[in-house]
Structure 1
């Protein structure tokens, strides 16, 4: 599991998960947000939703064990003075889950070593959720020459409440308190402590938290304490090389303590790690003892209560009028919710984890994943079809089965039980038409059905429309070298890739696809241009789209002056884009490298040859434990087929496999097949005249290029049809 799964989520419930992490002290991502608010440090924030306020102070609660720190001034001349001018002398975080409540005491002591450290240390902030949390200040002072100076009455405080801003997903329905500290000097220590009481909306009683041991600045003392009781236990999952905290039990009180000194900034987290790999040390806290606990939470929070709304039931009956087959009923209702209810997330309002009423969603025709799923659930119930929601993880496609927590998920899908079979539906998908939904699912290893009695994760089947090989894209380039002037590029998209292309065609001009194809095909010859618009054949039955684009050129034969012959060369036009490129530094890394998986992408050339050509077979194959590159030829009469394949067998390269993959990819990228002939009878007469001039050293100008070569030929009408003869 990559660290990104816990930090960067962009849609549906991912918005709520993200803010839960930020709101609980993991606020690194808010730095840029706050920088925008305070473009000029100390300036007033004159923007809608931004107001000045005063700080509310509170004494340190009895449950907090305050950690003592050294009050000595920061020494600018110290050998270990940080280059950026600021270090954290103490980072203290204490959390209390006792009694089923949530409270966090967070204290930071900044040490300013140079002028460069004054600005970043002068801006402080806290985040809490409206209606469910409160934020108070436990300490706010400057330590100068060992003496405290209270600065609360001189600090400028601004409150940003963006509950009304649906675009501000990070802070919607949350309050951000921004504090500018005046008169901070080199050598000062700044002590700032906050106390947040109350859990975030939707995660009440879940006792979730995440601690990362990967600071961006040096930390003198890192102190962490988790307090709970025997009636509200928590599970700690220590991963990525993090150090496990010490457990201490006194009667009903249970504590976990962790202390480290002189913690250096963490190395940069590597890119391209597989989703199951923990790229940085962290401790994940969860109050769920098992996945059954998460199911109970999800059923209470994510399923809209109450009977089916009358207008929802009426709409369901209208859409399925005259239909007896339950599969057809599901198809019509799912297509309606996918196509007629716009996806729009409400951010972190109360509905970050709680859906709106299905009747309201139907009326306004928008909602996020859980809103759309609950509307579809209600409609299916109205027509007698059993269905239930399921939690999924689509950002990384991986759920760690060993860590039961709501934070493992970012999406909600639906399962319908019909005739003893389970049909999975993503209500946010793109329908194929008004009555045909998409049944494709983002690839993920496990999902959690939210049905009564469910206690474990289940695998999500590969969509039946992808096919047994699991490939999504099959590409073919047809070139007729008998005339040397016509080519057709055809791509077959299946499954999710078909859904994507279908959506692209619905929202933009076909010329977008034409230009994409042309960028590749034009390298095969001279003066290549598109010949008309692409011809699209859409098969809804197996969810496959075939797009065929004709091209014409002055010629595809290219003259080789050095060898005094002309030829045609074919190489992987597209597959190099599907096989990830590995840098030299990555080749020496000590962590695994992610591969797209499952992937089986094929590229083919169908070449119609002039008569009498002698073909030497080519069969190249680089097959390893994790992947396959191959390039093979097959000839039947005057038709030559070049087949190129990139296939993956797992989702990662082991560290000792990365360098070999890098070399193999270079070899694969340079594979090509060349056709040539010195015989002028095998190319058009006009083209031969031009070649003769080139061979004789004649300078070729526009005036002596044969007229028939100046304008690309128009292919015969029967050659412009897609392979299956269909089209529109």
Structure 2
């Protein structure tokens, strides 16, 4: 039984990216009639005036069909335009394609205006550009975009266009895995999806909430068609602060039973090399083994690839999937995530250490396990098996500290392990305290002069230390001091730094601390009959979820992992009012923990402790009401004020 694979994202209007000039694939573009296998779908030109006025545009038809025998997907869109913004958006059609294995076939472009039809395909300006939408992160590939600029588009027009993209990735030619999402952000009068597949293929389907149920029928010749159809579909409105894995748009997946193990097996050849490793690489590995203990030699390989091979993806001349040969990456001293991963794996295998690529998805993360198997990945890391333990390393993380078994990776959730035995979807480790910050404040407060001397220290551990090490490398300590002065000048009229800041980087244990001394003026508040002290701003107040509403219908994104501990010692030069005593607040739920303590440790001394930790990356809808209530109580505690016994002098 033949089995086929398709992996498709449906997007009917995409932004224009910068134009390039390298290897533009005009031979992969042609004009042809609509294929015979396509099922015609009619649309109505009747437009509800209230809807188009409210939105500025309305989709009259969103039609997507796929025929796996021809490996061809057909796109057909009809949209009515009212606002200038949507005229601009839909008068430019952009069709992304991978010229290594895909071709674009244009069928027609039409404008309906005042009862007349205008064919515009021949008049469209055409440009092919390198689709480097991620050039800001140094990712250059041979993905290209065909852009069609439609002449004379006006408000009130109806635009209809149709094209096909033919071809499939080389690594899985004969499997079926299709998913589509309605992500137009507009009301759609009619949605039509059709899959033509061999009747003998056993279909497996996954649906999200609100998705459409299909109808299935035999169309002869050994083929069946699956049709999803809906009318008057409301626009999907996306709330802010969404976790990356959440999309409120209904999604449907179709598969022929592809398993994660099969997917890993199909991808493995793109990360495997038989050519000999260069002498330069062998000599470097041999040098590490001679000069360091075994595990330390492995760590040297990790650090060398992280720091000596800069991140730059340059796959502009062919299929972007295969990694570059490690010899080439070593010689060039640059590569993307998979290039750096394969070089590190090569070095580790020369040491006799089992290692393998792991493909992760930095967006979908934990949700991957809920989906049907497909190539969910946009990043590659390295799995290492040593002394009965499994470690995971990101070869792109420059300046990462810690021993081999304490190197931290972000909470990717799952990854696709590419290895001959045991390949497939695996769970990746995550620690709730892997991103930890501890702030220490020591105030010596001169009430009569309305000023304070402050010793401040920031300690970072794990991923937080890695992050801060990178921040200081880019911004420098001087830049950090400018940020401190700029931030606190909004609360205190004068800040004077005393001496120079001190930086201590314990790289091997991955702990980094930075400290400074300064004086602040305007630290107490004086009224006619009272003097009080209140600290502002707490760092935790900037990190807490904001703009939360119990009516929210989507998960709310949390920074995760994150542990922030704030310890403040307040020393006054006058007595504090006797009625000021100890107080505390504590909350620990399923998604976060909060703690506040105000401790009186003497007539003139107080200790203030705050604590904030997240346990996962989102507050779910059914948790919102409780979390909102607890956050309100916590923030009330942060607004504490200490009444002092004597006023400031005039």
TM over 0.5: yes
Partner of 2:527: 561
Asked if the contact 1:429/1:438 (under 8 Å) is kept, the reply is no
Q: Distance in 2 between matches of 1:591 and 1:612?
A: 50
Deviation at 1:503, TM superposition (A): 1.6
1:80 Cα offset (Å): 5.8
For residues 222 and 371 of structure 1, the distance between their equivalents in structure 2, rounded to whole angstroms, comes to: 41
The one of 62, 65, 73 equivalent to 1:91 is: 62
Moved more, 106-115 or 191-200: 106-115
Report matched runs for 1:131-530 at 5 Å.
131-141=100-110, 150-153=119-122, 155-162=123-130, 167=135, 172-182=141-151, 190-200=159-169, 204-205=173-174, 207-229=176-198, 235-249=204-218, 252-264=222-234, 266-275=235-244, 277-286=246-255, 289-323=258-292, 325-346=293-314, 350=318, 352-395=320-363, 397-432=365-400, 439-454=407-422, 456-462=424-430, 469-470=433-434, 472-481=436-445, 485-519=452-486, 527-530=494-497
Larger deviation, residues 373-382 vs 215-224: 215-224
Partner SS, residue 401 of structure 1: helix
C-alpha displacement of 1:635:
4.6
- Secondary structure at 2:212's aligned position in 1? coil
| 1:619 corresponds to 2:584 | yes
Q: Which residue of 1 aligns with 2:3?
A: none
Root-mean-square deviation (Å): 3.8
Q: Name the structure 1 match of 2:41.
A: 67
| In 2: Cα distance, 1:399 partner to 1:31 partner | 27
Is the contact between residue 129 and residue 174 of structure 1 (CA under 8 Å) also seen in structure 2?
yes
Q: What residue is the counterpart of 2:4 in the other structure?
A: none
Are residues 194 and 276 of structure 1, via their aligned partners in 2, closer, same or farther at CA, if it must alter by over 3 Å? Answer: closer
Give the direction of change, closer, same or farther, for the CA distance of 1:538–1:375 in structure 2 (3 Å limit): same
**Comparing 588-597 with 432-441, which one deviates more in the overlay?**
432-441
Tell me by how many angstroms 1:601 deviates: 1.5
The whole-number CA distance in structure 2 between the counterparts of 1:238 and 1:624 is: 30
Assess if the C-alpha contact under 8 Å between 1:633 and 1:641 holds in 2: yes
Q: Is the 8 A contact 1:103 1:196 kept in 2?
A: yes
What is the Cα deviation at residue 47 of structure 1? 8.6
Per-residue deviation, 1:89: 3.0
Q: Given that residues 599 and 608 in structure 2 are in contact (C-alpha distance below 8 angstroms), is that contact kept between their aligned partners in structure 1? A: yes
Aligned to 1:545: 512
Alignment of 1:58 with 2:32, yes or no, is: yes
Q: Which moved more, 1:191-200 or 1:668-677?
A: 668-677
Q: Distance in 2 between matches of 1:399 and 1:624?
A: 22
Q: Name the counterpart of 1:3.
A: none
Structure 1 position 206, deviation (Å) = 5.2
State the Cα distance separating 1:532 from its structure 2 match.
2.4
Distance 1:349 1:242 in 2: 39
Name the CA shift for 1:52/1:654 in 2 (closer, same or farther; >3 Å).
closer
Is the contact between residue 273 and residue 325 of structure 2 (CA under 8 Å) also seen in structure 1? yes
Question: What TM-score do you get using the length of structure 2 for normalisation?
Answer: 0.85
Distance between the aligned counterparts of 2:24 and 2:264, measured in 1? 39
Following the alignment from structure 2 to structure 1, what is the Cα–Cα distance between the partners of residues 265 and 195?
A: 24
Which moved further from structure 2: 431-440 or 240-249? Answer: 431-440
Is the alpha carbon distance of 1:356 and 1:54 closer, same or farther for their aligned partners in structure 2, counting shifts above 3 Å? closer
What is the correspondence of 1:564-579 to structure 2 with a 5 Å cutoff?
564=530, 566-570=531-535, 573-579=538-544
Q: How far apart in 2 are the matches of 1:227 and 1:321?
A: 61
Contact 1:520–1:573 (CA<8 Å) still a contact in 2?
no
1:69-121, CA deviations, whole angstroms, 9 ceiling, x for partnerless residues? 45xxx4689666556665433322111223xx621122223446799876655
> Residue by residue, what CA displacement relative to the aligned partner does 1:579-619 show, whole Å, maximum 9, x if unpaired?
11124xx3322333233344331111023354865561122
CA contact (8 A) 2:408 2:434 kept: no
Distance in 2 separating the partners of 1:498 and 1:353: 33
Aligned equivalents of 1:85, 1:246: Cα separation in 2: 33
Deviation at 1:572, TM superposition (A): 5.7
Change (3 A) 1:646 1:120: closer
CA distance in 1, matches of 2:407, 2:125: 51
Partner of 1:711 in structure 2? none
Task: Name the SS for the 2:291 alignment partner.
Answer: coil
- The 5-angstrom pairing of residues 619-698 of structure 1 reads 619-636=584-601, 640-671=606-637, 672-679=639-646, 691-692=648-649, 694=650
**Aligned counterparts of 1:597 and 1:433: Cα–Cα separation in 2:** 20
Name the SS for the 1:589 alignment partner: coil
CA shift in 2, pair 1:26/1:307, >3 Å: farther
Question: Is 1:86–1:114's contact at 8 Å kept on the other side of the alignment?
Answer: yes
Distance 2:25 2:325 in 1: 33
Could you tell me how far apart the structure 1 residues matched to 2:190 and 2:593 are? 49
The separation in 1 between residues aligned to 2:280 and 2:498, in whole angstroms, is 51
The offset of 1:559, in angstroms, is 5.3
The 1:181/1:611 distance shift into structure 2, 3 A limit, reads closer
Q: What is the CA–CA distance in structure 2 between the aligned matches of 1:600 and 1:392, rounded to whole Å?
A: 24
* Count of aligned residue pairs for this structure pair: 635
State which of 547, 552, 555 in structure 2 corresponds to 1:592.
555
* Gap change, CA 1:436 and 1:179, over 3 Å in 2: same
Q: Judging changes above 3 Å, is the alpha-carbon distance between structure 1 residues 185 and 510 closer, same or farther for their aligned structure 2 residues?
A: closer
Q: For the structure 1 residues 89 and 471, does the alpha-carbon distance in structure 2 shift closer, same or farther, using more than 3 Å as the test?
A: closer
Structure 1 residues 142-163: Cα deviation after superposition (integer angstroms, max 9, x where no partner): 567877665444x133122327
Structure 1 stretches lacking a partner, 5+ long: 1-19, 38-45, 681-690, 695-728
1:592–1:653 CA contact under 8 A, matched in 2: yes
Report the Cα offset of residue 247 of structure 1: 3.3
